[in-house]
Amino acid sequence: MTQVAVAENPVSPLVPIVGKIIKIVTETPDVKTFHVSTPDGNKPFTPAPGQLGMLSLLNVGEAMFSITTQGPNHLEFAIKKTGVLTDALHESEVGQTVAVRGPYGNGFPIEFCKGKDLLFIGGGIGLAPVRSLINYCVENRDDFGKLQVIYGSRSPADLVFKDDILTNWPQVRDMQVDLTVDRGDDTWQGNVGFVPAFIEQLAPSPEGDKVCILCGPPIMIKFCLQSLAKLGFKNENIITTLEMRMKCGVGKCGRCNIGSCYVCLDGPVFSLAQLQTMPPEY
Amino acid sequence: MKAIAKTQISELLNQVAREYNVLVPVAGADKYAPYTPGIELKLNSRTLLPPKDVFFPQTEKMYKFSTDGMEGSLDSLLTTPKPQLLFGIRPCDVKSIHCLDHVFLSKGFVDEFYAAKRDNTFLISIGCNGPAESTCFCQSMGINPQDTDEVDVHLFDLGSQYGVVPKSAKGEAFVAKYAALFAETTEEVPAVAEFTLNLELDGVSEKLAQMFEHPLWEEVSRKCIGCGACTYLCPTCHCFDVSARVAGTQGFRFRCWDSCMFSDYTRMAGGHNPRPSKKERVRNRFLHKLQYFPERYGDSLCTGCGRCLSKCPVNMDITNIIKQVREVDLV
């Protein structure tokens, strides 16, 4: 009997689909990047840069992560070992079944960024969400002006995405990568110092309507914002991405609100101008 | 207007029970429960427990899974229930369903678990001719205690009988189908008795938008013990947690009611908590009801049902907080 073609069910907002870990990259002692495909080798869904995905180990738990980048057939999640689920993920091996749902959230304002010079600032694992946009810009290089990445971590061993920051990105046309660490080691030749001080030292110009996209630990963000203000960046051109505890990802479960905004739906990407109209509760 | 004698309600329910799973306000348990002939109904007031669990159960399985080493699979547990009929909800609780619809059915994502039950439920409301309890203040929240349009059939309380008014096409068909139980009446709907609890709400939402840092929150949160009773009794509180039960290789993931009054509610992996103390949690609860939800959906998230003030163990009182907000002098 001929099989009648059945329209694919729309992806449920709350029930995930099964996926497989197809590759694991050890980035640092406590960060691994997990490449996830469907069991038949396809991309679970196609997120926009900056969007989120809910990833779970079926018998452990579920949590929201930024999707750090994607390939034609997979999504990548860079995950720091920091709780029950992430501990279990770090123990997982290639071939492990996971479940995944999404994409959620607004993503980075790509149209707003087009044609402009972009400054990316990351601290620690905070480079993970920013990397989705950096890679988009690299892949669509002609749509953007000059690209600069300022990235810092606690130590040289804690730098994530070493292939990108040391090899791939510096080779891209009109793209500059500046690295710093809080504490160097015997082999570290680069800058030593916190990210905000490094920004002031490099003094990137806000001219040409340059847009700054930053993500990192809250304390780093706080001081970076002061540095960017000193350099003359406009609040509308400073863009960050927030983290909150989430259970549903679709604006129903209630906990990720900042005032009347839900980070899972209206964020996670906000401009500083937007954040200044919201209660400081994040 | 058509009408049905109050003594005929059990006959109506017996008949509709052949077609629907009928949920009725039950005395004693003080909540909505399946109708059985002879069950004692509570028709003179709202129930203590709101009807939200009809659409949004306190715990609800979403999917089951099995794991075998690195292998695993999952299956949705979404089911479409038999058509159900929710009988006797009050206008305050009708408004709460309207609020839940905003949350679960709008902003780009339809919650299929809520929608399956909501789409399959026929609503019959009963109006109140005044405050049913001393803690009732629905009128101050802009609700007509006697009438509502967001149901299929509405019943006006006319003393010994209920005036029957269809409010939807489905309601028209229902009234036609059970016409034998309804007679014409010329009796008028009585005037609404005066409420003892009255509030002025004009401008409160806008004022709250300027009161995030106000010392009032420190003050009013001091006596809260964070028990969460207010959120469980609230007909509009809809926050939920998602968790799993695992036994060997089998398990299921479910959602269950959660409360913004609990400290773990917003605590992230790694320990950061944007609402670390009672002050932030109490503030968020009241701002959500009175400012954030109105900003997001255009409706207040408080219906004035009075359940939280009647049962709070330390007498937290949203009406009192609204009054205090009105008295604040913003410089």
Cβ contact A160:A169 at 8 Å: no
| Neighboring chain B residues of A268 at a CB cutoff of 8 Å | none
In a domain, A250, yes or no: no
In a domain, B285, yes or no: yes
Q: How far is B145 from chain A (nearest CA, A)?
A: 28
Calpha distance A213→A238 (Å, rounded): 6
**What are the two backbone dihedrals, phi and then psi, of residue B140, each rounded to the nearest 5 degrees?**
-65, -25
**A125 in the same domain as A36:** no
In a domain, B164, yes or no: yes
Q: Is A62 on the interface with B (CB under 8 A)?
A: yes
Distances (CA, A) of B258 to A64, A135, B164, B299: 18, 38, 37, 22
Alpha helices, DSSP H, located in chain B: 9-16, 91-105, 112-119, 169-177, 204-208, 216-221, 229-233, 278-287, 293-297, 307-311, 318-327
Q: Flag whether pLDDT at A8 surpasses 70.
A: no
**A143 in the same domain as A224:** yes
Reading the block at residue B199, the tokens are 């509030």
In a domain, B143, yes or no: yes
Question: What is the residue range of B295's domain?
Answer: 204-235+266-327
Calpha distance A98→A92 (Å, rounded): 10
Q: Which of A104, A132, A151 is the last residue of a domain?
A: A104
**B100 in the same domain as B11:** yes
**What are the two backbone dihedrals, phi and then psi, of residue B305, each rounded to the nearest 5 degrees?**
-70, -25
**A127 in the same domain as A100:** no
**A91 in the same domain as A114:** no
Calpha distance B279→B250 (Å, rounded): 41
**A71 in the same domain as A97:** yes
Cβ contact A253:A242 at 8 Å: no
pLDDT of A10 reads: 43
Can you point out the beta strands (E) in A38-174?
Answer: 52-57, 61-66, 69-70, 75-80, 97-104, 118-123, 147-153
| Neighboring chain A residues of B293 at a CB cutoff of 8 Å | 260
Cβ contact A73:A37 at 8 Å: yes
**Which secondary-structure segment (H or E) carries A273?**
helix A272-275
**B323 in the same domain as B174:** no
Mutate which of A89, A245, A265 to test chain B, going by most B C-beta atoms within 10 A? A245
CATH for A142: 3.40.50.80
B231 φψ region: left (φ > 0), alpha (ψ -120 to 50), beta (else): alpha
pLDDT in tens, A159-205: 999 999 999 999 999 999 999 999 999 999 999 999 999 999 999 99
Count Cβ–Cβ pairs < 8 Å, chain A vs chain B: 128
Chain-chain contact of B240 with A248 (C-beta, under 8 angstroms): yes
Cβ contact A199:A121 at 8 Å: yes
Cα torsion through A142, A144, A145, A151, rounded to 10: -120
Partner-chain residue, chosen from A18, A93, A247, that has the shortest CB–CB distance to B242: A247
Calpha distance A78→A120 (Å, rounded): 18
**What are the two backbone dihedrals, phi and then psi, of residue B205, each rounded to the nearest 5 degrees?**
-60, -45
Structural domain count of chain A: 2
Chain-chain contact of B73 with A18 (C-beta, under 8 angstroms): yes
pLDDT of B331 reads: 75
State ipTM: 0.91
pLDDT of A218 reads: 85
**B294 in the same domain as B177:** no
Cβ contact B251:A58 at 8 Å: yes
Calpha distance B263→B233 (Å, rounded): 19
Other Cβ atoms closer than 10 A to B20: 18
| Neighboring chain A residues of B255 at a CB cutoff of 8 Å | 14, 247, 253
Q: Is A42 on the interface with B (CB under 8 A)?
A: no
**B138 in the same domain as B21:** yes
**B160 in the same domain as B17:** yes
In a domain, B106, yes or no: yes
In a domain, A3, yes or no: no
Cβ contact A108:A269 at 8 Å: yes
Q: Is A217 on the interface with B (CB under 8 A)?
A: no
Q: How far is B75 from chain A (nearest CA, A)?
A: 9
Picking from B122, B135, B91, the residue whose alpha carbon sits closest to that of residue B17 is: B122
Confidence of residue A124 (pLDDT cuts 50, 70, 90): very high
pLDDT of A11 reads: 60
Chain-chain contact of A85 with B269 (C-beta, under 8 angstroms): yes
Query: With DSSP H G I counted as helix, E B as strand and the rest as coil, what are the percentages for chain A, rounded to 5?
Result: 25, 30, 45
**A168 in the same domain as A75:** no
In a domain, A121, yes or no: yes
Partner-chain residue, chosen from B72, B112, B287, that has the shortest CB–CB distance to A58: B72
Q: Which of A80, A104, A128 is the last residue of a domain?
A: A104
**B133 in the same domain as B208:** no
User: Would you list the DSSP string of B122-170?
Assistant: EEEEE--SS-SSTT--GGGGT--TT--SSSSEEEEE-SSEEEEEE-SHH
Mean pLDDT, residues A106-123: 97
Residue tagged 């109105």 (tokens): B294
Other Cβ atoms closer than 10 A to A39: 14
| pLDDT > 70 fraction of chain A, expressed in percent and rounded | 96
In a domain, A253, yes or no: no
**B35 in the same domain as B167:** yes
Calpha distance B216→B210 (Å, rounded): 12
In a domain, A169, yes or no: yes
**A151 in the same domain as A64:** no
Cβ contact A163:A192 at 8 Å: no
Confidence of residue A282 (pLDDT cuts 50, 70, 90): confident
In a domain, A249, yes or no: no
Distances (CA, A) of A58 to A29, A50, A166, B111: 25, 25, 36, 21
**B217 in the same domain as B122:** no
Angle at B276 between CA B255 and CA B60, to 5 degrees: 5
Mean pLDDT, residues A79-92: 96
Residue A9 makes CB contacts below 8 A (sequence gap 6+) with: none
**B307 in the same domain as B171:** no
Would you give the DSSP letter of residue B181? G
**A67 in the same domain as A97:** yes
**A100 in the same domain as A34:** yes
**B218 in the same domain as B167:** no
Residue A105 makes CB contacts below 8 A (sequence gap 6+) with: A50, A51, A52, A263, A264, A265, A267, A268, A269
Calpha distance A172→A170 (Å, rounded): 6
In a domain, A280, yes or no: no
Would you give the DSSP letter of residue B8? G
Chain-chain contact of B272 with A218 (C-beta, under 8 angstroms): yes
Question: What is the residue range of A92's domain?
Answer: 17-104
Other Cβ atoms closer than 10 A to B317: 18
pLDDT of B270 reads: 84
Name the β-bridge partners of B124. Answer: B87, B153
Name the β-bridge partners of A91. Answer: none
Cβ contact B303:B236 at 8 Å: yes
pLDDT of A154 reads: 96
**B279 in the same domain as B156:** no
**B208 in the same domain as B178:** no
**A150 in the same domain as A80:** no
In a domain, A38, yes or no: yes
Chain-chain contact of B67 with A58 (C-beta, under 8 angstroms): yes
**A63 in the same domain as A141:** no
**A32 in the same domain as A148:** no
| pLDDT tens for the 331 residues of chain B, in order | 999 999 999 999 999 999 999 999 999 999 999 999 999 999 999 999 999 999 999 999 999 999 999 999 999 999 988 999 999 999 999 999 999 999 999 998 999 999 999 999 999 999 999 999 999 999 999 999 999 999 999 999 999 999 999 999 999 999 999 999 999 999 999 999 999 999 999 999 999 999 999 999 999 999 999 999 999 999 999 999 999 999 999 999 999 999 999 989 999 888 889 999 999 999 999 999 999 999 999 999 999 999 999 999 999 999 999 999 999 998 7
CATH for A46: 2.40.30.10
Calpha distance A109→A114 (Å, rounded): 9
| pLDDT > 90 fraction of chain A, expressed in percent and rounded | 93
Q: Which of A104, A132, A165 is the last residue of a domain?
A: A104
Structural domain count of chain B: 2
pLDDT of A60 reads: 96
Picking from B63, B246, B89, the residue whose alpha carbon sits closest to that of residue A15 is: B63
Q: What's the predicted TM-score (pTM) here? A: 0.93
User: Would you list the DSSP string of A205-245?
Assistant: --TTT-EEEEE--HHHHHHHHHHHHHHT--GGGEEEE----
